[in-house]
Amino acid sequence: MCGRFSLTTEIHKLQERFFLENSESLEFQLSYNIAPGQKVLAVVKGEQKNKAGFLHWGLVPSWAKDKKIGNKMINARAETLQEKVSFRRLLERRRCLIPADSFYEWKVEEGVKKPIRFVMQDQQPFAFAGLWDRWNHNGEELVSCTVITTQPNELVMGVHNRMPVILKKEHEQKWIDQEVQDLSFLTSILTPFDARSMKAYEVSSSVNSPRNNDVTCITPI
């Protein structure tokens, strides 16, 4: 599962990287330790460029009776998206990019969990493949999302048995284009990212608590 990531890239760089048309209106803050239940930046296709906004991390489907279901739906497995009715519907028409510049997993050594940060070799931001939905109940509205996961690549494999789907740049725009309806194609791009383009290092245990959100979370030890 993917349960923690960071986005420490300045908004003007994200605007260029993801072709955003509304970044000036966002109340954006750098975050070194993004956790489920928090608001995450998400990108969808706009009329001319792309649009960004903040979604609740933990998918609450439109049909849910209780929004607490989102606590169990922070991730969606790429391999079963077409098998589950709720995910198949979102795969067809509610896909988003979730910008990040790292994600964390925990490696257990001699009974001790050590946080490992995974980043790109060039330290540049990237995009998780995500799904989103809109929930309305008794006058309350919540727009939420989930991060799609897949099998680990060679780098992540030694730490965890899953990793978030990091889309190739050439697939990002197709992922959020609602006119792309070929589910076979869409699921075919939900694959482990090339390990040769990534690196990993151990960070402070301060990242264990989502209350900690500063540069110590990403500093190598």
Which residues are designated catalytic? 2, 105
Burial class (CB in 10 A: 0-12, 13-18, 19+), 128: buried
Residue 197 DSSP symbol? G
Amino acid at the residue 66: D
The residues near 188 (Cβ < 8 Å, ≥ 6 apart) are none
72 to 6, 54, 91, 143, 184: CA distances (angstroms): 20, 19, 19, 16, 26
Tokens standing for 110?
Answer: 């001699």
- State the greatest distance between any 2 C-alpha atoms of the chain, in Å, as a whole number: 53
Tokens standing for 73?
Answer: 């739906």
Tokens standing for 124?
Answer: 């540049």
The residues near 139 (Cβ < 8 Å, ≥ 6 apart) are none
State the Cα–Cα distance between residues 149 and 11, nearest whole angstrom: 25
